[in-house]
Structure 1
Amino acid sequence: MIRGTWSLTEPLVPVNIPATMIRVGQDKGITATALLVNTGISNEQLSDPTARLTYQQILLLADNLIKQYPEETLGLDLGKAININQFGMLGYAILSCADLRSAIRLGIKYHTLVDPAFTFEISEQNDVTAVRLTSHIPFEPMYRLLCDVFVGIFITLARFLTGKDICAREVHLNHPAPSYVKAYEELARCPVLFDQPRTELLIDTALLDTPLAMADSATAAMAEAQCAEILTRMGPKEGIVAKVRRILLRNPGTFPPVDVVASQLATSTRTLSRSLQDVGTSYQRILDEVRKEMAIEYLRNSNLPIEELAALVGYSDPSNFRKAFRRWTQHAPSYYREERKR
């Protein structure tokens, strides 16, 4: 296993969030016993604040919850139900930050204390800032669920932390619109766009300076030091998927082969392939995802001819690009270009 990867079978996930998943299910009449079937999670583990579960157990729990939850808004409901104190010491540190910017950056820095399989980033560009989900788990139902959780958590916690009814400019989801679009709009109170290159919240950069209601510099420093100590004991857990994506995005259009990526990660091609297989994905799948995101962005934001656009995402033959694009999105490239005219 490459140092810094997360594993399906390694106990990394604290019990706070799984306990919330069970509580949300119980609120809809689903018993804890039904949700824990075949997960290997015991009631003793759930009541032990120091216990950690494997991601495999979380996937099984989530699958049980998805199958039995009576509404399609499960992810949004979970996001709204997760409280800052369920992040443990990280939540305490975030609560004490001076402003929303420092709270988000602290969350990004130490998010692996809560969930090592995802990576977040913040991209400030003049008057608009993107808070972005940058990594993905290669299990589609779980990924879509957690995209919704991401939206629910960030919107709900931003309002709670600041004590203000703040709203994003736009919410972007990188999957097709579901049947519950209205639930997104009621929560976000801003335009919600689907089939986007990324899952992200676009906010006014000025909002990042909004002070937090419980800001306390001394407490924030103490809590962050505790987070750093815990993270050091755990070891770095940035996902291998995120590491590969970062290498691919360094030089768009000239994507290195898998052996070069492995070399840059100081490992062998075989070990890299096994590490990706361990989290249910592959180099080719990550490469396709990066190409898809880039292609959709170019189609939406430029007038480049298809020949040039194809070359920018690594295809010398436009017809091969068109075939690949339809395989990735179930749409022709023209679907996204025409979308701008609607």
Structure 2
Amino acid sequence: MRRMKPTVYAPSLTPVWKLLRECGYDPDPLFREMHIDPESLRDERARISLSRIEQMWKWIDQHSDNRCIGLGVVEHWHPTAAGALGYAWLASSTLRTSLERLVRYQRMISEGVTGSIHEKAGEVSLVVAFHLETEEEIPVWVDAILALIVHLCRINYGEELPLTSVSFRHREPDCASRFYGYFRCPLEFGADDNRISFPAAILDQPLEGSHPTLARLHDQVIVDYLAGLKQGSLVEKVKNAIIERLPSGGVTDATIAHALYMHERTLQRNLRQEGTTFKSILNEVREELAIRYLQDETLSLGEISFLLGFTEISSFSRAFKRWTGVPPSDYRAGR
């Protein structure tokens, strides 16, 4: 089974789109050049290949004269950019639970960025790591992620949030004063890792926006969403989804895309990249199941037709003859 390529939650690019527009760039042709469908940014089920996101940030890093452009992402962030995780974060009871929730469910937003929590000597640190194809971090992307995390913490805790320090692996930019102005704490550039450090004492203080019930509800939405991102071949995932839904009828590429938390066109495009189509997979699943069911003498042709999602026996018979060259009744009799 082939491992699926890492992906990113499409709506999370909305702040980047708005930032580019604010900076005088037209994001539409840029996104299309990177093979990112602008419409997918409004589709909560759409995901985009991590490699395309990497290309986009590389373009921004190479073409922008503003080395602090990544910090501007926070001005355009909205909870919907992180889906259920954004709202679960806002409803968290403490900053510690906020950070733990982010680390636990970050794969919903990106399968190329991970976080880990480290605690010692009265200090708690969130270490952010990037797992890219080129294994080379993109400074403006790192800046955007760390700035956004601090922004989220300030939303929950307040603008007076005290930070112990923030570290960056990349070298100090020529606009470092803006970094100090935004983070308002000691900074280290050229560090061993990308890290945000907090005084441990503040992490367990109750937050005014705490709503445990809402947080748990959003957590369940996240868990259900992540269940659709299990590693494995897209073809196998489509097959499994088809098998589960065939008896109820109405199996289409649209319904399966919805079940897999994908946009219909995204599913079609990704299947083409795998060298197949939804119709081919549907026919293959039906043929395999039909042969299996016909070997069971307790199942009538009518029952088999129903299990395969056909409304009439005649439709099933025509399809089976097209697949195998013989009607299902002849196949069963000659088996």
- TM bucket normalised to smaller: 0.5 to 0.7
Alignment check: 8 A CA contact 1:136 1:143 kept? no
Indicate if the aligned counterparts of 1:132 and 1:200 stay in contact, CA closer than 8 A: yes
Report whether the alignment pairs 1:127 with 2:92: no
Q: Counterparts of 2:85 and 2:107 in 1: how far apart (Å)?
A: 10
Contact 1:79 1:150 (8 Å CA) reproduced: no
Deviation, 1:78, is 2.0
1:161 corresponds to: 156
For residues 208-287 of structure 1, the aligned pairs below 5 Å read: 208-235=203-230
Superposed, 1:1-342 pairs within 5 Å as 7=5, 12-139=7-134, 142-235=137-230
Q: Are the equivalent residues in 1 in contact too, given 2:50–2:111 (CA < 8 A)? A: no
Partner of 1:60, secondary structure, is: helix
Query: Displacement of 1:31 after TM fit?
Result: 0.9
Tell me, what secondary structure is at the counterpart of 2:223?
helix
Whether contact under 8 Å (2:12, 2:41) holds in the other structure is no
Letter in 2 for 1:175: H
CA 1:176/1:69 → structure 2, altered by over 3 Å: closer, same or farther?
A: closer
1:112 Cα deviation (Å)?
0.4
Give the aligned partner of residue 304 of structure 1.
none
Query: CA offsets per residue over residues 47-75 of structure 1, 9 Å max, x none?
Result: 33322111122123223333443411122
User: What per-residue deviation string (whole Å, max 9, x for no partner) do you get for residues 284-342 of structure 1?
Assistant: xxxxxxxxxxxxxxxxxxxxxxxxxxxxxxxxxxxxxxxxxxxxxxxxxxxxxxxxxxx
The Cα offsets for residues 162-216 of structure 1, whole Å up to 9 and x where unpaired, read as 2342131111112221212111100111111112111101210011113333211
Contact persistence 2:51–2:133 (CA under 8 A): no
TM-score w.r.t. the length of structure 2 is 0.64
* Secondary structure of the structure 1 residue equivalent to 2:161: coil
For structure 1, the residue ranges without an aligned partner over 5 or more in a row are 238-342
Change beyond 3 A, Cα 1:128–1:43: closer
Gaps of 5+ in 2: 233-335
Q: Is the 8 A contact 2:124 2:198 kept in 1?
A: yes
In structure 2, what is the equivalent of residue 289 of structure 1? none
Instruction: Give the Cα–Cα distance (whole angstroms) in 2 for the partners of residues 126 and 28 of structure 1.
Output: 42
C-alpha displacement at 1:42, in angstroms? 2.5
User: Is contact 1:122–1:132 with CA below 8 Å preserved after alignment?
Assistant: yes
Moved over 4 A (4+): none
The count of aligned residue pairs is 232
Distance in 1 between residues matched to 2:160 and 2:231, nearest whole Å: 35
Task: Write the distance in 2 (CA, Å) between the matches of 1:145 and 1:138.
Answer: 17
Q: Within 2, Cα distance between the matches of 1:201 and 1:41?
A: 31
Q: CA deviation at 1:111?
A: 0.3
Which amino acid counterpart does residue 66 of structure 2 have in structure 1?
A: E
Structure 1 stretch 87-96 or stretch 147-156: which is displaced more? 147-156
Question: Percent of aligned pairs with the same residue?
Answer: 20
Question: Per the alignment, in what secondary structure is the counterpart of residue 228 of structure 2?
Answer: helix
Q: 1:215 to 1:98 in 2, by over 3 A?
A: same
User: How big is the shift at 1:37?
Assistant: 4.5
What is the CA–CA distance in structure 1 between the aligned matches of 2:145 and 2:104, rounded to whole Å?
Answer: 16
Q: Residue 236 and residue 168 in structure 1: after superposition, are their counterparts in 2 closer, same or farther (change >3 A)?
A: farther
8 Å Cα contact 1:85-1:91 kept in structure 2: yes
Tell me the amino acid that sits aligned with residue 46 of structure 1. Answer: L
Q: RMSD in angstroms over aligned alpha carbons? A: 2.3
- 1:209 aligns to what SS in structure 2? coil
Q: TM-score, normalised to structure 1's length?
A: 0.62
Equivalent position amino acid for 1:150 in 2:
I
Q: Take 2:169 and 2:58, find their aligned partners in 1: how far apart are those partners?
A: 21
